[in-house]
Amino acid sequence: MSYDQYLAEQPVVVTAAVTGGIQGKEANPAIPETPDEIGQAAAEVEKAGAAVVHLHARRPNGERAFSTERFQQIDDAVRRYTDDIIIQHSTGGTGAPDELRHAPLRTDPPPEMASLDMGPLNRYDHLTSENTRGLVDSLHAEMVDRGIKPELEVFNDGHINEVHGLLDRRELAEPVYATLIFGPGGLTRPRPQNFLNAIDNLPDGAQFNTLGFGRHQLPFAAMGLLFGGNVRVGLEDNIYFRRGQLAESSAQLVERVVDLADVLGRPVATPEQARKQLSL
């Protein structure tokens, strides 16, 4: 398939990460924390054009939660407020025991998608997300058992090797779906050539999602659109709309990337189209 044909035939799947596991309302008052707030934010991003909502759970005090019960409360709220959006749970977590990392996969019904971090990542001065191969394999096995599509989170170049290693160890349903992440610290350096290399080094037939942290969100979303990929935006990854101006909501960030997709001639996938494209 030629590049032009690919762009014509593949609508862009927009994922909205509406709340993360680290920063909260102290960083931007628009970040949702309660189940109702997250459900309402999911409705707003769905209306703006997102097909997938990426979810973390928060305790009542705003701190990160891993429990199945809290994810269930959030999912129930999301389904109450939205029409058809795809729910994607985070299984990431710095310093969390392995069993807690499995808890987001055990809601009823399970999420249609879940993130799967591909390897270790340094965070701050004294923390590391280990993401051992044993944990990756056990999370993937439970995803398969529960019919959950893994979204392989690739934080740096070494994690692309881990994607290939996972394919050597386990059978992944096609298409393989990888999120390429760019930014500071332990992430892939945000350079256009690194983006092109990352695409080129993915397994044959893989689909990719593009994620830039902070000020890199918009330019890397633009590159994702240009090169036939999918994109992720939202307040988890970027709290600003432009320099010095806090974003009003994740929906505002979704609207901007949907407008850009229109300018570039990329149709935006509905949840139904995204399910077909990603084989959910």
Q: HSE (CB half, 13 Å, CA atoms) of 135? A: 22
Which pLDDT belongs to residue 82?
A: 98
Q: What is the mean pLDDT of residues 139-154?
A: 98
205, 208, 264, 226: which is closest to 3 by C-alpha? Answer: 226
Asked if residues 23 and 239 have their Cβ atoms less than 8 Å apart, the reply is yes
* Phi and psi, residue 129, nearest 5°: -80, 115
Flag whether pLDDT at 4 surpasses 70. no
Which pLDDT belongs to residue 7?
A: 53
Write out pLDDT tens, residues 83-128.
999 999 999 987 788 899 999 999 999 999 999 999 988 877 777 8
Question: Any idea which fold 3-278 has?
Answer: TIM Barrel (3.20.20)
113, 16, 28: which is closest to 62 by C-alpha? Answer: 28
Write out pLDDT tens, residues 217-244.
999 999 999 999 999 999 999 999 999 9
Q: In terms of C-beta density within 10 A (0-12 exposed, 13-18 middle, 19 or more buried), how is residue 31 classed?
A: buried
* Confidence band of 151 (pLDDT split at 50, 70, 90): very high
Write out pLDDT tens, residues 50-59.
999 999 999 9
Which pLDDT belongs to residue 122?
A: 86
pTM of the model: 0.95
Write out pLDDT tens, residues 241-263.
999 999 999 999 999 999 999 99
